[in-house]
Structure 1
Amino acid sequence: MSDLDQLTQSLARNLKRWRGERGFTLDALAARAGVSRGMIIQIEQARTNPSVGTTVKIADALGVSITTLLDYEQGAQVRIVTEDQAVRLWSTPAGSRSVLLVGAESNGPLEMWSWTLMPGDASASDPHPAGTFELIHVITGELTLLVDGASHRVPAGASASFEAGVEHSYRNEGSEVVEMIMSVSVPPVR
């Protein structure tokens, strides 16, 4: 089974499980996530690989991390994720990418990401649930962080935090590659 097939099967199985645990009907989850009922059916039947944005919306609506939604190895108290096991969710032909390094279910989903943004590339995000926070640390380059229409420059060595319940995006407007680490904390579903 290819990595993509394994990921598709894991997502299907975990989506069914978490939707069932939350007691959400297909219609209820579709409404909460802002995606079509048909898309959720296709994902649960492992007939499609949804976009990163769709996956994030569904995870947020379920109150779980993307790690939990995609994970096919649950169990041990200490979980080691090797570089080849990290999940690449977003990439561009220029070489920009985001990689989900590791995540946990605590008082809500908590995720750690590795991002690379090539010069001129950008990635936009829809608002996350109220109370979601993102922490960013820029390793190289200078990140342009747009939060709710306001632009913020985050140079190498600097960190930023913000409430991510508004539209936000990450841009590399410079000539150097931006490497950054990002953590996302989503409040639990109530």
Structure 2
Amino acid sequence: MANQWRLPGSTRSTSITNLTLCSKQAKRKWRYKFKFLDLYKEKECLWMENHKDFLNFELKDEVWEQLAQEMCCPERPHPKPDKWRHLVIKWRYNVQLEQLRKQEAKHFDKLNELPRKLRYSDRLQFLIKHTFDRKNNVQAATPVARTPEPLTSPTQESLAAKCMRLGRCKSKLHTSFGQKLRTMEKIRNKRCCTMCLSPEALHRIL
């Protein structure tokens, strides 16, 4: 598609967004598609991952239907949401591929060999900017590991004090006297020799 709308004599590293030299049919075609990109940019829930309704697929389907209705014209009276979805996916892929080629050419010092920018490249830069901003926000939100405080710090609790504090907290729990006896009996039965009979076992035998 980019090759179809290249203008002779234009520089390779600039985007061909000027429609003055295009035919009337081409002007009408690209203005129609630029209108779609402007509408798509306004519907942030369709492309902004951190939007509150980005995962609300039912709402997004309704937004696509509304967008397709707004794109209806006398030449295209029937709304086609799938058509516009596929067009966005195609254009986003082409713009990202163009960015990768530009980085590769810059690395190998071959910027003069780059093809002309896509006509819709500049109008989709908000997606590229959003992608990089989202990554920066995720990195900024990552908690930074703090160095542990020295053991000599007066505010740090020792292991013995921590055990005593936990023991006091557990002792506050109400335990019946019978439950305490059963617990002590279990401990005694586990520690006694296998040749000795516990009172419970002796009672069962008798």
Answer whether TM exceeds 0.5 for this pair.
Answer: no
Structure with greater proportional strand content? 1
Structure with greater proportional helix content? 2
Structure scoring higher RCO (CA < 8 A, sep ≥ 6) equals 2
Scaled by the length of structure 2, the TM-score of the pair is 0.20
Structure index of larger Rg:
2
Scaled by the length of structure 1, the TM-score of the pair is 0.21
